[in-house]
Amino acid sequence: MSDNIIIVGSGVGGATAAKELAHRGKKVTVLEAGGYPKIGTEWRALRYYTGSFWGPGEFSGDGVEILRTFMVGGSSMTTIGNGVRSLQNEFRSVGIKLEEEFLEAETELNITPCPEENMGERTKLLLEASEELGYDMKPMPKYIDYSRCSGCGNCALGCIPGAKWTSRNYLGESYKNGAELKTNHNVIEILHKGDEVRGVKVRTPDGVKELESSCVILAAGGIGTPIILQNSGIDAGSHLFADTFINTFGVIQNADFENELGMATIIDEFHDSEGFILSPYIEGPLDLLTDRISLSNKIRSLNVKKLIGVMAKTRDEPNGKVNADGSFEKPIPEVDQEKIDKGFERSSLLLEAAGADPKSIFRTHIRAAHLGGTAGIGRVIDKEQETEVSGLFVSDCSAFPETPGKPPVLSIIALSKHLAKRLADEVS
């Protein structure tokens, strides 16, 4: 295989592969469709979400809002810093053992459970409420340097103090080992001669170009990767999962809450039995204003100092579809609606036990931010993560064989490390 490996996308999967390959002396070029904005103002990453006037996310015809950002670092720039293992057994059952890679990632990202001193007043009230209800609420493991976290609660807008790990940390390490990053390079198509990869066709500020390589790693994310594959004549895009979620809010009349770190704790005891996790969360004002909630609830949510919230994130059916033109479908089958409704019920109980007025409780529309499965192992790629085109690999959330129902970043890193280590031995 060629001496110049092309990686498409600089998010979690792409940056990990770049770091690992460059560290092993391989020549790497990362092509990223987005630019390299500094995340330094109050509006921060909002401009880089792919939504519109109607909200930060894109809506499917089924009314599900999906959230992702286009820029160097991809959606890692806007995570809440939650770092948990998911699908380790499922990967093992298809022949991919990730224990070593998980351990490496946990060390490199310094994943540690959120300390009590970084938990805000709402989280503490919900911890007490959980105890009262007999729920097992635990500190969330996070890739956050708590000593630098300001507790602003705006992780999803990008982290101004730089307390949170992002893919840019790994990219930085890859540059030190000679990797090259080309921004505003939007890959349109994979070039292949028969079943051998030849390179990529990419739209750049200087026009459309063809870049040669006999080894290409696609890491354009759960939506981006299947679009490129389909435009290259490779069947992909089905089995879209999204870990659909709702947030449930209530008002505590005499409260005067400060901002606080979101998702500082987790209840995961219902993950296997009822298909969801619960975690304290308050949305940003734009999310609430653009939510399809009633006007009275919008007005209610303006008083954020009295608002307390819980996210219910489900392990949804992988029943969505990304089309070659970028449109997507994500119907909510009855089985997923039941998980959402049960998550709402348990969230409401928590909020009431924490002191929220039962009459004030409302839920948001369905959103999703863990997009994947669309080039899954066993369907579009084999267990070596290779497509039907030799030399063309996939290493992002689209490669997941199943819905995680939990934050996927750590598993994407582990998977990308696994691929990169193997490729480093194979590529001359």
Binding site for ligand FAD (CB under 6 A): 8-14, 31-34, 67-68, 70, 74-76, 78-82, 156, 186-187, 219-222, 224, 228, 369-370, 396-397, 407-409, 412
Pairing relation of β-strands 180-182 and 307-314? unpaired
- Smallest gap, in angstroms, from Cβ of residue 75 to ligand FAD? 3
**Nearer to ligand FAD among residue 33 and residue 308 (C-beta):** 33
Q: Which residue has the tokens 């994407």?
A: 412
In terms of DSSP H, where are the helices of 53-120?
Answer: 88-93, 99-108
Residue 343's nearest CA partner among 381, 303, 316, 370 is 316
The nearest distance, CB 31 to ligand FAD, in angstroms, is 5
Which residues neighbour 245 within 8 Å (Cβ) at sequence distance 6 or greater?
311, 312, 313, 314, 366, 367, 368, 369
Separation of alpha carbons 253 and 258, rounded Å: 14
User: Least Å distance between CB 222 and ligand FAD?
Assistant: 6
Rank residues 48 and 249 by Cβ distance to ligand FAD and give the closer one: 48
Residue 43 token pair: 């509006």
Between 11 and 405, whose beta carbon lies closer to ligand FAD?
11
Residue closer to ligand FAD, measured from CB, 31 or 252:
31
To ligand FAD, the closest distance from the beta carbon of 7 in angstroms equals: 9
State both tokens at 104.
């490496």
Q: How far is the CB of 230 from ligand FAD (least distance, A)?
A: 12
Provide, rounded to whole angstroms, the least separation between the CB of residue 293 and ligand FAD. Answer: 19
Q: How long a stretch of residues is the chain?
A: 428
CB of 355 to ligand FAD, least distance (A): 27
Identify which of residues 204 and 297 has a Cβ nearer to ligand FAD in the complex.
204
Give me the residue whose beta carbon is nearest to ligand FAD: 11
Whichever of 223 and 332 has its CB closer to ligand FAD, that residue is 223
Tell whether the torsion through CA atoms of 265, 129, 369 and 345 is positive or negative. Answer: positive
